[in-house]
Structure 1
Amino acid sequence: MERVEADKLPKRTSTKVWNVQEFCRRQNLCQKEEWRLTRLFGRFATASELLHNAKRAPRWRY
């Protein structure tokens, strides 16, 4: 494991961190999926984690 000091990191390496509830609201995910993601990550997670782990129901055309 390598220890990295925060002041030595370049400023452009930041990642987008989302509130799970806000992400689910914007992506029109159901309450059950929001609960699952919250249990998985807690209240906050990176955008990549959320996008790769969100389960969406298929949208069938009638």
Structure 2
Amino acid sequence: NYTSGNVETLPTDLAASENFTATVATESSETELWRSSLLLIVVLVLLAVEWTLRKRFGLA
């Protein structure tokens, strides 16, 4: 068992151990932007509002 008094020996003890194998674990996740219905609706509403304002005020 390791305590605060001897924890500094842990890295060398692990390296000397035959049963120890170092591994690197990474985790990632991806979410498709358009999978969210709410986001799609908000974008469509904003585009419709922009188009309406441009038509009403005669902008290009």
TM range (shorter): under 0.3
More helix by share: 2
More strand by share: 1
The TM-score with structure 1 as length reference comes to 0.24
Structure ranking higher on relative contact order (CA contacts 8 Å, 6+ apart):
1
The TM-score with structure 2 as length reference comes to 0.24
Q: Which has the larger radius of gyration?
A: 2
